[in-house]
Amino acid sequence: MASKKNFSQFLLLLFLVHYAFVNGDTTLIKSTCKNTKYYNLCFSSLKSNPTSPNADTKGLALIMVGIGMTNATSTSSYLSSKSLTPTNNTTLQRVLKECADKYSYAGDSLQASVQDLADEEYDYAYIHITAAKDYPNACHNAFKRVPDLVYPTELASREKGLKHICDVAMGIIDNLINL
Each residue's pLDDT, cut to its tens digit, for the chain (179 residues) gives 455 555 555 545 555 444 444 434 689 999 999 999 999 999 999 999 999 988 999 999 999 999 999 999 999 999 999 998 888 889 999 999 999 999 999 999 999 999 999 999 999 999 999 999 999 999 999 999 999 999 999 999 999 999 999 999 999 999 998 76
Q: In the chain, what are the domain boundaries? A: 25-177
pLDDT of residue 20: 43
Are 171 and 34 contacting, i.e. CB atoms less than 8 angstroms apart? no
> 55 φ, ψ to 5°?
-90, 150
150 DSSP 8-state letter? P
The single-letter DSSP state of residue 85 is S
Look up the CATH number of domain 25-177: 1.20.140.40
* Predicted structure pTM score: 0.84
User: Using CA atoms, how far apart are residues 99 and 61, in angstroms rounded to an integer?
Assistant: 26
